[in-house]
Chains A and B, each alone.
Chain A
């Protein structure tokens, strides 16, 4: 059953009275089980949204509902049980001296019994493929491994949504790929919602829906295919489309029919093949 898990209703936020509005009257819904990508130029309000979802910030105007509860000072502790966040810099989120201790931290805070704690640590490390590193020091791992441990720590508290706030930005291409694969597997297995805030254009192609932010407002809500068919508009607001979409765009501008906006190499090749076989 598709249900609304996060709802923003006419939300406005600013960091102080003398500051401009970082978010201006924004409304949107995110369903449980959905993969949402949030993109936008630097300063468009993306990260502010993430911090509002789990009550790290509270809005001056409007209402945010998470898991049926309005986000406010009374509910944030309950809400944080169902919202897990992974931030950009993996080094800033470790507290334990071993991978195991680090994953245990969130569980200890919640007073989980030892037996169950051990089970959850093992399960969550297994889910991200880090079981072999259980006694390693977190800060000696590679960037991709660190982010996987950060995800395991979050999985252990069994959230209903995971928010990735530019969680792959500091990783190399292989690390990015690993994390997105891990996240995808975890999402499908545990039926989580995923909110990925990102600048990585190729990461967006995997999302069910994209929310495009500009100047603190929701500029567009659509699927990746539709988003990438709007090259000029996106470029005007400081964004861009992936190389494949650009090539498809240029091909179509010189009369090669591209019917379905391709999201990857395979889809573009199919379009090229169709054109080729008709000639």
Chain B
């Protein structure tokens, strides 16, 4: 679904001493099928932005459009349940929200709430277990018997079971070991493409934003600081440092190679191995010019 923010403000506890403007004059537009990364340091407004995507919050000013749904300060959205069915949100540490006796029941909770019939739910459960790489035998087990990584997958399966068109991920790899992190991101990337989802990833990992996103939105103090293709946005090291963000390691090392060794290589999404080959060629060729 196409998603846009038009001059959106969001204020927590307005007209009280605790009034806090979390988003100000935020505008952006994302085409259906885009993988978007939202980055920004703590308190930049990332969580407030994503809570608008399924109508948990409605703007204090401006307009949010999610496909045909419009969120405005004036009127309550009528079919909010339908919006929530189409926008799946995986909150931070989603495994904390598991509550049923078995994984099967936990996954079934969402689709049941949205009125799916028993047959359809059974089919969905089998499908989403495959999507998150959990063996079917686990279905009858208690979610609390699983390892941390498996618990998180089970919780994500519950979100996918509703068959959303938009998937919102808030720091989905926090607390996982390095392989768990990579497997989890690969899984979302695969789902994004196979289900033709529009994906929003809130992350502190510039590496993940660079590797998986088509578009990155950088927030600072509740407003848009910059946006664009990750491979272009992450070249703007000075500006990003100003808002307390860093750039991905691979771009950082290329900058340093240029600064210290005078060799200019550009990042085009090449693997570490290809980069090593380019570096070798450039370093070896350097001697003939000096």
Contacts and interface: CB of A to CB of B under 8 A. Distances in A.
A111 interface: no
A242 B250 CA distance: 11
A240 interface: yes
Interface in A202-234: none
Interface stretch (A101-109, A152-160, A169-177, A183-191): A169-177
A279 B287 contact: yes
A255 B276 CA distance: 10
Given A142-B42, A276-B283, A42 B250 contact: no
B176 A42 contact: yes
A279 B41 contact: no
Given A172-B42, A256-B283, A275-B283, A250 B177 contact: no
B177 A269 contact: no
B283 A272 contact: yes
B185 interface: no
A239 B286 contact: no
Given A43-B148, A142-B43, A268-B253, A240 B178 contact: yes
Interface string A254-278: 1110000000010011001101100
Given A239-B179, A247-B275, A247-B276, A175 B256 contact: no
B261 A88 contact: no
Contacts of A201: 178
Given A175-B42, A250-B273, A239 B177 contact: yes
A244 B253 contact: yes
Contact of B42 (A144, A254, A256): A144
A132 to B, nearest CB: 17
B284 interface: yes
Contacts of A273: 260-261
A28 interface: no
B123 interface: no
B280 A42 contact: no
A255 B273 CA distance: 12
A24 interface: no
A250 B260 contact: no
A229 to B, nearest CB: 16
A240 B272 contact: no
Given A238-B179, A250-B272, A254-B280, A42 B147 contact: yes
A171 B284 CA distance: 41
B180 A238 contact: yes
Contacts of B141: none
A77 interface: no
Given A254-B280, A255-B280, A272 B177 contact: no
A169 B287 contact: no
B174 A169 contact: yes
A41 interface: yes
A97 to B, nearest CB: 16
> Max chain A CB contacts within 10 Å: which of B42, B207, B244, B284?
B42
Interface in B210-254: 244-246, 249-250, 252-253
B279 A269 contact: no
Interface of B: 41-43, 147-149, 174-182, 204, 206-207, 244-246, 249-250, 252-253, 256-257, 260-261, 272-273, 275-277, 279-280, 283-284, 286-287
Per CB-CB distance, the 10 closest pairs between chain A and chain B, nearest first, are A250-B276, A240-B178, A243-B249, A238-B179, A279-B287, A41-B177, A251-B276, A276-B283, A250-B273, A174-B244
26 contacts: A41-B177, A42-B149, A42-B175, A43-B149, A88-B175, A172-B42, A173-B41, A173-B204, A199-B177, A199-B178, A199-B181, A238-B177, A243-B249, A250-B273, A251-B280, A254-B277, A255-B280, A256-B276, A265-B253, A268-B253, A269-B256, A269-B261, A272-B257, A275-B283, A279-B284, A279-B286
Given A243-B250, A254-B276, 4 more contacts: A174-B245, A250-B272, A256-B276, A276-B287
